[in-house]
Structure 1
């Protein structure tokens, strides 16, 4: 068997056993196709033409149309006052569409959400809980349950790294580390308080470095993560002009932080030793109490606490934030930190 058609643009044969001169009874001949579109496209089919020789030695040709589905991307924003989660699809232009408010399980004060694979973890700060929900292809959150994790004070930040879930406690500066089990439950939890950590509002990772944002400080805490996931060698990274951050996000070798008091976002360069340098105002405009920050598809999405609105800025060639837009919809309600999946 042998492919004879040229694949459409952006399709490639990434692996397989083609061509197959002969094929024993019960054996298979296969090819794995990879599609990497430069622009967002709708679902469709890709036609494949092939030749073959049957068991009687007769040559022939055939074709097959292979369907493919364009997976929607969604963003989720916890609404603390409404005790629900706003979910919107991202359209082909990166704009929010088909927004709905989800209440997948009773919540009290959801402040943050993190997703990986088909798992969504919602931090319910007042209840001092972390809720796990399954995320399906339509963006719905279902089969929710309490993971059993109890933070002693006020859980705020959450991040997932190498099968571990890290949860920050804003009141104490502690970080709780748990193993994420196959069903989404959390086990083997341990609490640590990294040196230099205070009012630990948010958390992000870059390689073997952990960065913890502080809610009312100009400093960011940086730690090295050991192979078992334990943070060590923690130090304080001063960032001039910062008044406190509620969200940290990383893209490439740049780290971004919301600067709540000054309605701005800062961008820092991550050096080879994981230290930070060259921290500047990233240039975002039209913000009003920026609380949540997520980076996706060449854009920065921000939830504004004071205006209950969503902003989107373009990441330009210098990795600064330009062409910012404030959306009239969705209508948020004391939004927390958003996530994109």
Structure 2
């Protein structure tokens, strides 16, 4: 008689659905701020929250790509800033540049991401040390290129400013673009063999080698894709803020990391979803919006963000421990059967 394969407990199945936690968090925050913050539950404020989270969602998904490989990138803000400034400066001197501006941003971001990937994957440098170094390097490039100048909104092509403020059927255009980008990356990771390999090397880099995978190549690819997405996000951010300075997107390194981890992407690699990272961006945007409506000082908002990272990392460690325990029980149960 064939042995039946033991089924996982409902608890183990819930733990594997990391996105569930961030959805519950969103619901809880919505109820909490709706009760104490004036005008928080209005439709207009809801549009503000998702519009503020749109660009961060792209960067959080990019950060999540790297986290899935058991690495991280703290230079994402510097990539955004350098790409945004160069693209804005080019647009200021070539008002009719058109779609080429998007190509410039994508190529520049991908090139900077490749620098990170080569250092981490083939140079075998710690990702934290490597990307901290390139963060300063990319910011230095921005200062050298800018010569202390800024690109004002009046110098940008009108279509750049119009697109970021455009609404389609009441939905901000930025939100639509963000949803398309994040969904495309999520589909790539879920349904394409190359995307699944990113999960594989993050889950077990040693075993992936015996399966014929090359962790160095996949890590390099993840950093290139991360840089490409950050370059695109930098262009969108330049249009949103209007005036592009050399310090544009400073601090996005911590914010994107917080969004990705809060969204359920494991810092141990190989688990989580970029859709969850995008929801994590909405969580941070919602917290920030609620605290602003309550007139909470800026330093308290930074404290809340840091606390969210600590709690998310702690929860991630607990989830990983519970999943390992459930899998071990599952294997033992199969042997007994």
Structure with bigger gyration radius: 1
- Alignment TM-score, normalising by the size of structure 2: 0.24
> Which is richer in strand?
1
1 or 2 for the larger relative contact order (CA 8 Å, sep ≥6)?
2
> Which is richer in helix?
2
